Structure 1
């Protein structure tokens, strides 16, 4: 299975929205998918309409085991079958202080997972133990940003973190690329920042970018995949996430 981490070192850029868009595209394609909600805010768990069971991602990180993973995994209300969630928990913040000697815990837990084509890890919007734990479990990492000054600066920190993990506890980790979210076609400032990203990172800037459309938030607020949300804007977004998923699936699988 392919394990993709979705990360950002700046909050508010739509990291969870990108995770959910990719999950929607995977569901539409018939790929069995597991979303791992590492963000203590638990937004992916809520938007995917998941009801917590006997465990959550925090209990998995406390003591990884097949039983802990099973207890922490619950189906999404988006579909009758094919999309599950490793349930998020505010308690996962307790693991944000772990050092690299324990960064393998999620990777170990996912080694007991089977039957999925794709795993999407929604990392916290910070550079701490949780994010490093999430990325260390991945084959590929997606860095989400928006075309603004501070968000672009955070991309550099994220890319350095990925490179550091590759040289240390996660030698198989590779950057998939940078997803630029909430793009407004007529913004001069955004056009400048997009050009800046292209200059700095070249082909790592994934295309197409994700346009700013209210349909994305509307679908998430209704706990529905964007691929089934009505309207031209939702169809445009669905096509974007389909193309981004294509790029991810071209990465080598475990």
Structure 2
């Protein structure tokens, strides 16, 4: 199973929107897809139509060895797409696991037993704490959503340093599969400047596709639907479909189903 973490310690950059819509787009191509919601806010779970009262088992139970990945996974309305939801209990996991010797490997061990999936996406919280470290430990690669604004560049350097430390001490095989520019507004000259700077710095790591600011992307989660289902023809949906095609081009051709 290919495992991709979607992370950026800065909040509001489009991580969850990217996770939901990329997972939906990849599932639509026929890949059996799992989305793991590692954010205690549980927005990815809500955005895929899993209300909080229907989350009998969650990522927290999986990390605490109280349930298996198979028990926690719930089907969504999207064919071939399952989600392991998050609850507020997850916010306590960092404290409860801090004294455990395998505290950064809990997710990796749990997902090793997740059978029947070709690819897994992990939606990380907006921090570089223990939950995100678990995601980076479990992942083969990292997808970085980057908002087109000045402070995002500063945050990117911190994230790259964290990835380097993870590679050195936790997961030597972790690589950055790509950086996707989000909330792109062509009316804002700063947006173009930031995009140019990121491409100059990271070169081919940056996806050609940019995700525009789009009202329909913001509306879709309130209906419990990915934007690709809510309005497949809007600019945001078209951009995520294009991004999914690029991402597939960077994945191994064979499906590594567990």
Normalised by the length of structure 2, the TM-score is 0.89
SS in structure 2 at match of 1:167? helix
Q: CA RMSD in A?
A: 2.1
Larger mean CA deviation between 25-34 and 218-227 belongs to 218-227
* Mapped pair 1:240 → 2:242: yes
- Hey, what's the Cα distance between the residues in 1 that align with 2:16 and 2:234? 22
Whether the 8 Å contact between 2:3 and 2:140 is mirrored in structure 1 is yes
SS in structure 2 at match of 1:144? strand
Whether the 8 Å contact between 1:103 and 1:132 is mirrored in structure 2 is yes
The match for 2:193 is 192
Whether the 8 Å contact between 2:212 and 2:236 is mirrored in structure 1 is no
Whether the 8 Å contact between 1:25 and 1:241 is mirrored in structure 2 is no
Candidates 57, 69, 81, aligned match of 1:83:
81
Deviations 1:110-149 (A, max 9, x none): 0101111110000111010110011110001011111111
Identify if the C-alpha distance between structure 1 residues 90 and 8 changes in structure 2 by more than 3 Å, giving closer, same or farther: same
The aligned runs of 1:11-30 (5 Å cut-off) are 11-30=11-30
Pairwise CA distance, 1:75: 1.2
Normalised by the length of structure 1, the TM-score is 0.90
* Structure 1 residue ranges without an equivalent (≥5): none
Candidates 88, 94, 97, aligned match of 1:96:
94
- Hey, what's the Cα distance between the residues in 2 that align with 1:165 and 1:230? 37
Whether the 8 Å contact between 2:59 and 2:85 is mirrored in structure 1 is yes
The match for 1:61 is 63
Whether the 8 Å contact between 1:33 and 1:82 is mirrored in structure 2 is yes
Identify if the C-alpha distance between structure 1 residues 44 and 93 changes in structure 2 by more than 3 Å, giving closer, same or farther: same
What is the count of residue pairs matched by the alignment?
A: 250
Pairwise CA distance, 1:85: 0.8
- Hey, what's the Cα distance between the residues in 1 that align with 2:215 and 2:178? 25
Identify if the C-alpha distance between structure 1 residues 188 and 224 changes in structure 2 by more than 3 Å, giving closer, same or farther: same
Pairwise CA distance, 1:101: 4.1
Identify if the C-alpha distance between structure 1 residues 45 and 37 changes in structure 2 by more than 3 Å, giving closer, same or farther: same
Pairwise CA distance, 1:27: 2.2
Whether the 8 Å contact between 2:60 and 2:89 is mirrored in structure 1 is yes
- Hey, what's the Cα distance between the residues in 1 that align with 2:253 and 2:103? 27
* Structure 2 residue ranges without an equivalent (≥5): none
* Mapped pair 1:249 → 2:251: yes
